[in-house]
Every structure is written in C-alpha cells, then in structure tokens.
Amino acid sequence: MGLRNKVKLEFLSRPENVALARVTVATVAAEVDFNLSDIEEIKVAVSEAVSNAVIHGYEEQTNGIITLTVKLYTDRLEIIIEDAGKGIEDLNRALQPGSGSDPERMGLGFVFMKSFMDEVDVWTEVGKGTRVKLVKSLPGVCKIQNCVRN
C-alpha cells in the first residue's frame, strides 16, 4: 500500500545512538494517530533491536555500521534495523525468552519486540549480519499477523 514517508539513517554502533534511533522512529510514528502507549511500545522495540546490534552484533565495538529504515505506509509503520555484525547462530533459540548467553541480561529483547509489534521478522547469517523488520499496523487497520487492534 501507499508509502507516505521514508527515513533512512546510518550510524555507528555506539550505545548513545540507540536514543537517536528511538527518537527518529517516534518522530515518524507521530505523523499518524498512534496513541502514546503505541509510541512507547514502538520505542522499546526499536531500542531492543538497536541495542542487540550494538551489544551482540558488534560485540560492543563502536565502529560497526547500523542502518535504520523507517517507512510509513497508509496502513502500517515498518522499521528495519540492519547490522553487518557476527550474526545469530541459532535463531530459533535466540527468539525464545531467556536465551541470552549473558547471565546479566534477561534475554527478553525479542520477546518485547514480538509482544509490542504486530510482526517481527529476522534474517541473519553468521559472519554477515542481522536484519530485523518490525511492523505495526496503523490505528484502525488490522490486516497483518497477530493484530489485535480494532
């Protein structure tokens, strides 16, 4: 369906840039009548995906490239977060709660993404990188997977 707006941003894998990604997405999302809790949920999902690229994809090296693409369509908001980091060996396992390798972390990033967004798709290749697509249908639209909006 019709593309209303598109923003593409490339930034280094510095933890400070998580906030930049979050604000960018929230600014585009605010063009349509998402309510405040939708916007908060979208921001959390984006933060989790970008943090994963920084922490896991690039293992906290700050010279990796992360690309954020935000597309606002007439029926949905699509967000793509890409890194060219180490990739995920066992994706099915990574998507489950508590799968993280680091005992300090809860392993809930993908769980939050899946619960806050209507669609979450992940492509990954070991040694090549990871791409996460997050989709939320616009208020009043309910056409895609897991949509509970009315």
31 is catalytic: no
Largest alpha-carbon pair distance within the chain?
44
Q: Which amino acid is at 43?
A: K
**Residue 2-41 contact track with ligand ADP, rule CB under 6 A, x = bound:** ----------------------------------------
**Residue 67-106 contact track with ligand ADP, rule CB under 6 A, x = bound:** ----------------x-xxxx-----x----xxxx--xx
CA 138 remoteness from chain centre: 16
Query: Least distance (Å) from ligand ADP to the CB of residue 111?
Result: 6
Alpha-carbon distances of 112 from 31, 84, 134, rounded to whole Å: 24, 23, 11
Is 64 or 73 the residue whose CB approaches ligand ADP more closely? 64
52 is catalytic: yes
Give the footprint of ligand ADP on this chain (CB under 6 A): 48, 52-53, 56-57, 83, 85-88, 94, 99-102, 105-110, 130
